[in-house]
Amino acid sequence: MTEQPEMIPTGDNRMLDEVFSDRKITWLEKTLGTDNYRIVKGLFKTPASIIGFILILIFVLIAVFAPAIMPPVDKDPYKMPRDGYSGEPRGPGAEWTRKVPDLPFWYEPLTGKTEMTHVLGTTQGQYDILYGIVWGARTAFKTGLLVVAVTVIIGVVLGSIAGYYGGWVDNIIMRITDIFMTLPYIMMALIFSAVLTPVLGRSLWPPLIAMTTFGWMGYARVIRSDILSIKERDFVLAAKVSGVKKNRILFKHVLPNAIFPTLVLASLGIGDVVLSFAALSFLGIGTEVGYADWGQILSFARNWITNLDRYWYIVVYPGLTLTFFVMGWNLVGDALRDVLDPRMRGKL
């Protein structure tokens, strides 16, 4: 017989310690409340989630310091500079002859050269890959934050109305949610972007609106179930018997206590949004050609699949960038899922 599975998950003992020692309550715990503090603490618990945070931090730094890392050439920094018009990609270290940017601070110490080159090569149409990756990080955060913010607002409004008022309101809202959930996400986002593109023109907006339209349902469900449990708590009953109005109870008492898990969940949704956005760009929907956006750089590779062994850099660099970005959010999200899992309550 092999080793018995452990009956008590590791970390369980700590709970006893915590209960029986007079634990100091930090200012953070005081401001967030014990439940929410537990979530935050859980996020920084495992090595995996810390690696995740480090990855995210690196991308934040790249996005913030993009102008220093890759100085813009055109007036619009999101337009990748074109070094000529040849279709064929050029390998890492190729000479940069047209629209040469200023030497960035890291260039000379790292490469030892005084002439600017395409450090990671160029893709079809002579767009510099490194430039696209660096400024693409900004595009990623822009799209991710915007879509997440709007979907959360829609989800929270609909979910809390459904959860708090219940009855037929709840029924209608949740059936609409079901219908939206039936539809395959990527396909619907793709279609709606295609519908919006002739109306709004090729830009960030069609995919952003499309992803928002089909992305709010998860948040609505989560906030609804949290509100259902919060509204049974004693303090809500106390508010009710002391004659507080129904709407005021929802906004002042129930929602503030229910919203935190949804907010954390949502902030980790940025990885998924960026992934879907890249997928749409990859399919040829969204930003105009030459916009610094990871999915678009990858979509150029679709024309070169027979020669990818020679032009590996047009897939490997942007592909790994996107993967690491998504991985950062997933690692933290994984830790979050453990914390939010009700079976894990009280185990941190």
Partner 1 sequence: MTNYIIRRLLMVPILLIGVTLIIFSMLQLLGPVERSALYVKDFPKNDKQIQGIITRYGLDKPFLTQYGIWLVGVKDPVTGERDGGILFGDFGYSRSASQDVIDIVRNRFPNTVDLALWTVYPMLSVGIWLGVKAAVNQNKFIDQAARVYSIIGTSFPSFVFGLLLLMLLYAGPQIFFPGKMSDWVSQLIFSGELKQYTHLLSIDALLNLRFDVFWDALRHMIMPILTLSYINWATYVRVMRSSMLETLRMDYVTTARAKGLSENAVINQHARPNAMLPIVTMAGSSIVGLLGGVVLTETVFNYPGIGKAAADAAAQLDVVTVLGLAIFSGAILIIANLIVDVVYAFIDPRVRLA
Does residue number 171 form part of the binding site for partner 1 (CB under 8 A)?
A: no
Looking up tokens 């959860």 gives 163
Q: Count the residues of the shown chain that bind partner 1, applying the rule CB under 8 A.
A: 57
Length of the chain measured in residues: 348
- Measure Cα distances from 95 to 116, 297, 310 in Å: 7, 20, 18
Grouping H, G, I as helix, E, B as strand and the rest as coil, residue 6 is: coil
Given the rule CB under 8 A, which of 131-139, 247-255, 257-265, 272-280 is the region that contacts partner 1? 272-280
Say if residue 13 is exposed, middle or buried (CB neighbours under 10 Å; 0-12, 13-18, 19+).
exposed
The smaller minimum CB distance to partner 1, of residues 15 and 48, is found at: 48
Residue 339 CB, nearest distance to partner 1 (Å)? 15
Does residue number 283 form part of the binding site for partner 1 (CB under 8 A)?
A: yes
Does residue number 332 form part of the binding site for partner 1 (CB under 8 A)?
A: no
Given the rule CB under 8 A, which of 64-72, 103-111, 142-150, 275-283 is the region that contacts partner 1? 275-283
Sequence-distant (6+) residues with CB within 8 A of 87 are: 124, 125
Six-digit token string for 337: 């899922």
Rounded to whole angstroms, the Cα distance separating 250 from 163 reads 10
Six-digit token string for 5: 């599975």
> Which residues between 11 and 50 bind partner 1 (CB under 8 A)?
48
Rounded to whole angstroms, the Cα distance separating 92 from 112 reads 15
Does residue number 175 form part of the binding site for partner 1 (CB under 8 A)?
A: yes
59, 192, 216, 219: which one binds partner 1 (CB under 8 A)? 192
Contact residues for partner 1 (CB under 8 A)? 1-2, 5-7, 48, 175-176, 178-180, 182-184, 186-188, 190-199, 271, 275, 278-279, 282-285, 298, 301-302, 305-310, 312, 315-316, 319-320, 322-324, 326-327, 330-331, 334
